[in-house]
Amino acid sequence: MKRDSQTPVELFDAAITGQRHAIGRLLSLVEQGGEAADAVSALTHEKSGDAMVIGITGPPGSGKSSLLSQLLKVIVAAGFRPAVIAVDPSSPLTGGAILGDRVRIDATDTATFIRSIATRGHSGGLALAVPGAVRVLDAVGFNPVIIETVGVGQVEVDVTASADTTIVVANPGTGDAVQANKAGLLEVADIFVVNKSDLPGSNDARRDLELMLDLSHMTGQEDSTGRRPPIIMANSLEGSGAAELWSAIVEHGEHLVATNQIDTRRAKRQLAELRSRVSDALLDALDNELASEQGADVVAALSDRRITPSEASSQIIDRVIRID
């Protein structure tokens, strides 16, 4: 469907000179996956690693995009050239998606590059597409690269949490201290934002997060360096909190460097991507095996209760990872 008159090499050459459509095309190749994405990866892998990678996550409607809109103004004013990867869900029923983050992001300045990515449902697709897209934007000179995802779904949380700095956006009125202590999203935060801080209950939300962090300190679950994630009050209607948030991001970046955590974090990110790639390939092999005649025999034997689920899985595993 797409006119691919240019090779990935030609696109990359155009992209590093700042041609927006060439960057856009490279990101499409990354999203497609397969050989095209591998070719782009080969071009960008070595040239990346300079950009600060920031993740922003939080529940739907918590104001992530509006906050980002304010934050981008601060980042551009500070002399940086930011790029955003905004992830929105695809419909599991139709595969379609409404990518609406740009509605809130007022980025008429040409310094900022924004790309919307739909989750597209296929297993591990997002876990591969996002690191690939980060590499492209990093390699062509954007810094920082910001990933925005809804904080639902393990893959979405994982890709955001594997950033250098992860920001979790919370709102007033979304629960008490007990909610804040439930495991999950809040544990991945390097920085908290209580957004919509003009609404009643914002100080309660702040107190609940503080209490949660106190308990993390007591149980030894805090950062190994003893760093306590700051809590920033923000209100995107008037833009308050954005400058404080940027200072906190810069401070966290310096902290990562000072404590030698930056390399550990990035190594962890590479490892996570490697795991995603391998598990994606293994899942493909599994699907092929299950679709084969022998695979169908095993499934039939399982349905007829002639073999147990564990016997069936052993047989399939032997076939999937057999070494010929």
Footprint of another protein on this chain (CB under 8 A)? 1-3, 20-21, 23-25, 27-28, 31-32, 90-91, 94-100, 102-103, 108, 110, 113-116, 118, 120
Based on CB atoms, which residue is closest to another protein, 22 or 180?
A: 22
Type and span of the H or E element at 254? helix 242-258
Based on CB atoms, which residue is closest to another protein, 103 or 317?
A: 103
Measuring CA to CA, which residue among 320, 128, 140, 145 is closest to residue 249?
Answer: 145
Based on CB atoms, which residue is closest to another protein, 86 or 188?
A: 86
Residue whose structure tokens are 């601060």: 74
Based on CB atoms, which residue is closest to another protein, 2 or 305?
A: 2
CB of 15 to another protein, least distance (A): 11
Based on CB atoms, which residue is closest to another protein, 108 or 224?
A: 108
Phi, psi torsion values for 294, nearest 5 degrees: -65, -40
Type and span of the H or E element at 165? strand 165-170
Measuring CA to CA, which residue among 242, 257, 195, 254 is closest to residue 71?
Answer: 242
Based on CB atoms, which residue is closest to another protein, 25 or 206?
A: 25
Distances (CA, A) of 283 to 77, 184, 242, 244: 45, 26, 42, 44
CB of 83 to another protein, least distance (A): 9
CB of 259 to another protein, least distance (A): 35
Based on CB atoms, which residue is closest to another protein, 116 or 313?
A: 116
Which tokens in the block code for residue 33?
């996956």
CB of 156 to another protein, least distance (A): 17
Cis peptide before 144 (omega within 30 of 0): yes
CB of 45 to another protein, least distance (A): 21
Between CA 111 and CA 266 the distance in angstroms is: 26
CB of 71 to another protein, least distance (A): 18
DSSP calls for 4-71: --S-HHHHHHHHTTT-HHHHHHHHHHHHH-HHHHHHHHHHHTTT-S-S-EEEEEESTTSSHHHHHHHH
CB of 196 to another protein, least distance (A): 21
- Other C-beta atoms closer than 10 Å to the C-beta of 272 total 16
